Amino acid sequence: MTQQPPSLFQTSIGAGVLLLGLGLAAGAVSIPANTGYSGVGPNFLPWLVALALLVCGGFILWEARSGGFRSMDAPTGDVRGYWSGFAWVSAGLLVNAALITTIGFILSCTLCFVLAVQGLHGAEGKPDLNPQRWLKNTMIGLLISAPVYWTFTQFLAINLPGLTSTGWL
C-alpha cells in the first residue's frame, strides 16, 4: 500500500473531525431543549462536544492546509501492536459489560480492572501471571470500584446494578 502525502492525510483527519462534529450536532438537534437543573437541558453536553469538535476540526484542517503539522516528534514504540495486551483489555471490557447485571457493579468493574492491568503490564514487557499480582490487582480494583459505587448509589441516588438490593454491595 502506498502512503499518501502527509498534507492530504492530515487534511483528511481535519475533515473527519469536522464531519464527526457535524454528525453530533445533527443528533443534538433531535434532543429536547427543556431546561433542567440550573437551566441546563439534556442537549447541552452534546452541543458542547459538537462545538468543541467543530473548533478542533477547523484548527486541524487549517494547520494541515497551511503547511502541515509542524514540530511533530518521530513516532515511538514498536513497529507492530501488542495484540495480546489488546485482547486482555478487550476481554476486561466485554466481561464487565456481560456480567455487570449478574454480579454487580463492584465485582464486574474489579474484574475489568484486573484484566486491563494484566494487558497493560504485558504491553510494557512485564507480563506476570503470579497469583500474588492478581490478588494485589483485585484488591486495588475493589478499592477503586467500591467507593465509586457507594458514591453513586448512596450520595447521588443513581441506581447502579448491585449484588444485593441494599445499595452497599
Reported as a single tens digit per residue, the pLDDT across 129-160 is 889 999 999 999 999 999 999 888 877 777 77
**Do residues 52 and 85 touch, judged by C-beta distance below 8 A?**
no
Question: Are 118 and 56 in the same domain?
Answer: no
Q: Are 88 and 147 in a shared domain?
A: yes
- Do 51 and 87 belong to one domain? no
72, part of any domain: no
In a domain, 1, yes or no: no
Residue 40 lies in a domain: yes
pTM here?
0.58
Domain count, the chain: 2
- The pLDDT-based confidence of 4 (bands split at 50, 70, 90) is very low
Would residue 89 count as lying in a domain?
Answer: yes
145-153 contacts at long range (C-beta below 8 A, 24 or more positions apart)? 145/105, 145/106, 145/109, 145/110, 145/113, 146/106, 148/105, 148/109, 149/104, 149/105, 149/106, 149/109
Q: 14, 31, 65: which is the final residue of a domain?
A: 65
Note whether residue 126 is domain-resident.
yes
- Confidence tier at 112 by pLDDT (50, 70, 90): very high
- Predicted confidence band at 24 (pLDDT cuts at 50, 70, 90)? very high
d(CA 89, CA 133): 17
Please report whether residue 14 resides in a domain.
yes
Q: Are residues 150 and 88 in the same domain?
A: yes
Cell of 158: 443513581
The answer as to whether 168 is a domain residue is: no
> Which residues constitute the domain of residue 18?
6-65
